[in-house]
Homo-oligomer: A and B are copies of this chain.
Amino acid sequence: MIVDGLHKDLHTLSVGIAGLGLIGGSLAQRFAKAGVRTVAWNHHPTPYADARAEGIECVDTVEELAAADLDILFLCTPLKAMDDVLARIAPVIGQRTTLSDVGSVKTQVHDAVVAAGLGKQYVGAHPMAGSEFSGFQASSADLLDGALWALTFDDTTDYFRYLLMARTITETLGNTFIGIDNATHDRAAALISHMPHVVATVLANTLTESPECNVAVALSAGSWRDMTRVALTDPDRTRAMIEENPANVAELTREVAQRLNEVADMLDDPHAHSFELADFFALADPYRRYKQAQRENAPISEGTLSVYSMSWRRELCESAERGERITHVDAIRTFSIAWREISDM
């Protein structure tokens, strides 16, 4: 065991942040605020003065950052810079440093980390936090208030490094997490974010190319505004996001297309019955009940989850699938969990 994440004194934790954008900057500030030694590097030194004022040490090169003998190094750079950054840190990073990231797609990062020979040190992470703004000037420690993280793994992930990350997220950052494999993460992210961005863009494209476009815009109201909001901002960033998760997005856009064609078939069929369409509309009833329970603030239950050394990955996945969140590492294979009492999903 190179890293003993279970017994590590978190008061002596040191972390590195490569990339002081919105998420990297917020994470660095939250660590610094928690009294953790926080070292950062950014592609441009522009945010260094502000970062230093927040108690963050700034270094000139990513090689210096990797060589700083840190417990955890978070890669918070854009995915397109990842190969370059990994090539630069691979020769200098110490084995005791656990490598992580904050990207919204995990498989590609994992593949790049493995290609750089750093797979054994890697634990993927994705905090559910963000805003419509970007850059260090928009970042803040508060951005991560109440954040849920996805803490990901593959078949070779080191369990004690995973525990170090789990404890850092829950104890140092005060957040919660779910444990899932990289592939499940990327399928879920495609479902609730990447594919819907494509759908919103398709709606906006359909309007733009309609001969009735000005009439349609005049008649449009809240439903149209909500369905197309994400198509309005930064199409280049959306495109980059889609291109990082192409297979999952393609599979889901085909599934949505098929479901839409099935509705069209019902509507076009003079022999179709109203109850078929009613079935289509009723299919999401479990989700409607889940959202209603959430709105009504249904009570949160608490319990513990114990996992086995050979099957912890599957057991964490199943816990996430049941809708549980991990709130604390209690012992080597025991976690505190919380979940909302509802969910016949």
> A284–B205 contact, CB under 8 A?
yes
Interface residues of A in 182-212 (CB under 8 A from B): 184-185, 187-189, 191-193, 196-212
Distance of A208 Cα from B255 Cα, bound (Å) = 13
Q: Could you name 28 residue pairs across A and B whose Cβ atoms are closer than 8 Å?
A: A126-B219, A130-B221, A187-B212, A188-B210, A192-B207, A192-B217, A192-B219, A196-B224, A204-B284, A206-B259, A207-B287, A211-B321, A218-B320, A218-B323, A218-B325, A223-B229, A227-B230, A231-B284, A231-B288, A232-B291, A242-B277, A246-B268, A247-B268, A249-B263, A254-B261, A256-B260, A257-B261, A260-B260
Known interface pairs A193-B224, A201-B280, A226-B230; 12 further A-B residue pairs with C-beta atoms within 8 A, sorted by A's residue number: A188-B215, A188-B219, A196-B223, A201-B284, A202-B256, A202-B260, A213-B345, A214-B322, A217-B345, A218-B320, A236-B281, A238-B281
User: Which 7 A-B residue pairs are closest in the complex by CB-CB distance?
Assistant: A204-B284, A235-B281, A257-B257, A250-B267, A192-B220, A250-B264, A246-B267
Q: Which residues of B contact A221 (CB under 8 A)?
A: 128, 130, 192-193
| Residue A178 at the chain B interface, CB threshold 8 Å | yes
Q: A206-B191, A235-B282, A278-B239 are in contact. Are A260 and B198 (CB under 8 A)?
A: yes
Distance of A230 Cα from B224 Cα, bound (Å) = 10
Q: Which residues of B contact A259 (CB under 8 A)?
A: 202, 205-206
| Residue A76 at the chain B interface, CB threshold 8 Å | no
> B232–A128 contact, CB under 8 A?
no
Copies of this protein, total: 2
What is the number of residues of chain A that contact chain B, defined by CB distance less than 8 Å?
97
> B197–A223 contact, CB under 8 A?
yes
Expressed in whole angstroms, the minimum distance between the Cβ of A298 and any Cβ of chain B is 14
Distance of A286 Cα from B204 Cα, bound (Å) = 10
| Residue A102 at the chain B interface, CB threshold 8 Å | no
> B277–A243 contact, CB under 8 A?
yes
Q: Which residues of B contact A224 (CB under 8 A)?
A: 192-193, 196
Distance of A204 Cα from B222 Cα, bound (Å) = 18
> A283–B232 contact, CB under 8 A?
no
